[in-house]
Amino acid sequence: MRVRKLKVSSKTIFMLFALLIIQFSLFSGVHTAGAASEESEIDALIKGLNASDVNVKADSVKSLVEIGEPAVEPLIQVLGTEDPDIRENAAITLGKIKDERAVQPLAELLTDEVWEVEKAATDALISIGEPATEPLIEILQNENENVFLRTKAIEVLAGIKDERAIRPMIQALKEEPELQADLGYHLGLMGEPAVEPLIQLLDDEDSEVRARAAEALSRTGDERAIEPLTDALNDEDERVRLSAKKGLDKIEAQKKSMLIARYGMKREFYIEGQRQEWFEQLHTICDLSRDNMRLYFYPQGPVISYGCSIENCVTVGVLVGSEVNNSTLDNIYNIFDQAGKEIGVNDVPVVFSYEGFVQEDMETLQEMENLEITEETAGTEEYNVTEESAKDSRVSVSTPGLGAIFTLLGILISVCIINRR
């Protein structure tokens, strides 16, 4: 079989080559124009992060998240801008995109002078999760690093809950006195994997380490901690004994806290500004409900507390052992729902749960009175109380009888501590 040779003139080759160049140029032009258009869009959306309208801010964040990877570097660049709104919402956006390139720049914002920016960076790093663990451990272990930044690293590691962080946190608890308060609090938030290492610390030769381990175990709520904490009631150090007793009381109280029912529609928000506006509305709803709720206050009724929770809902605490039926719950919910409608809010989310009065027996109060606390440790305790109270911004209910007694006891304890300072 003979193969015929295809003859192609030089003119034809030149024309084909010219067509290829034209097509390539057109494609490059479209690509360049598309890239330029996207860059312009990203720049415009970033400018929208400090809009006066909170919904415009939220829409800008949503659009940037949808763009995804191409928006990461521009967002990282504006983390250093002077505008706190842009820093805050850029951090929020990066947390939602979850690109690990943002870890180090976000870590630098953990000591930002504006609280909202600091919180946005904290939440973003927690959202990014495991890719942030190693860099944060490096910050924790760096003795030359700013102490406040190291405490913020501890907070974020506790939020991520990566088991790799437990050993470094335990080691720091044993070796870094200035971090012990924060570690005692946040190790308790690491959950089940931290329980056994914390139990082992109850045998540590340092009484401060033992006391902080007992404090952390109480926050795990794990029943494996009951026996070792019971043994710690016989510790030679008074502070460890007190921490163990408070820990056992807390674990017992956690058992009694049970969900009763949820009403209304739970709200989710894209940026902090939206949540703050919603929180203000919840406060208004609680204030408007106050008079109608008096009928249900203890001891006339089963309610011992209600207020606004960081879970973006109203929470109602019902005294453990009280008998409540659906009709009672419906009536209480209608009070909040009607208050919501007065300000244009429908389906107010309300969560009912059993709660007990916070009690300290007289023996524990006497121990607290006699306990010698240094000025530094006293400041540490105040920090921990602030951390816990920040979890739930509840409206205190004025209740006569037993509730008033416990309120007075709390005031007396505070006065004693202040006088010691």
Interatomic CA distance for residues 271 and 89, integer angstroms: 7
pTM score above 0.75 = no
Check: CB of residue 128 under 8 Å from CB of residue 92. no
**Number of domains forming the structure of the chain:** 2
What is the pLDDT confidence band of residue 93, given thresholds at 50, 70 and 90?
A: very high
Residue 265 is classified by DSSP as -
Residues 191, 209 within the same domain: yes
Interatomic CA distance for residues 203 and 234, integer angstroms: 12
DSSP letter for each residue of 350-406: EEEEEE------HHHHHHHHH----HHHHHHHHHHHHHHHTT--EEPP---THHHHH
- Torsion on CA atoms 330, 334, 336, 337, rounded to nearest 10: 120
Residues 110, 208 within the same domain: yes
Residues 69, 110 within the same domain: yes
CATH number, domain with residue 273: 3.30.300
CB atoms within 10 A of CB 201: 21
Residue ending a domain, among 228, 256, 284, is 256
Residue ending a domain, among 256, 277, 298, is 256
Question: Does a structural domain hold residue 373?
Answer: no
Which residues, in sequence order, are CB contacts of 118 under 8 Å at separation 6+? Answer: 109, 110, 111, 112, 152
Which residues, in sequence order, are CB contacts of 245 under 8 Å at separation 6+? Answer: 233, 364
Question: Does a structural domain hold residue 181?
Answer: yes
Mean predicted confidence (pLDDT) in 327-333: 96
Interatomic CA distance for residues 409 and 386, integer angstroms: 19
Residues 295, 184 within the same domain: no
Residues 274, 145 within the same domain: no
Q: 214: part of which helix (H) or strand (E)?
A: helix 207-220
Residues 288, 232 within the same domain: no
pLDDT at 27 over 70: no
Domain that residue 194 falls in = 37-256
CB atoms within 10 A of CB 82: 6
Question: Does a structural domain hold residue 251?
Answer: yes
Check: CB of residue 350 under 8 Å from CB of residue 333. yes
Residues 158, 220 within the same domain: yes
| Beta strand extents in 242-340 (DSSP E only) | 259-263, 303-309, 313-319
Residues 250, 265 within the same domain: no
Residues 236, 277 within the same domain: no
Residues 75, 126 within the same domain: yes
Query: pLDDT digits over 268-317, tens only?
Result: 888 888 999 999 999 999 999 999 999 999 999 999 999 998 889 999 99
CATH number, domain with residue 198: 1.25.10.10
Question: Does a structural domain hold residue 8?
Answer: no
Query: pLDDT digits over 54-65, tens only?
Result: 999 999 999 999
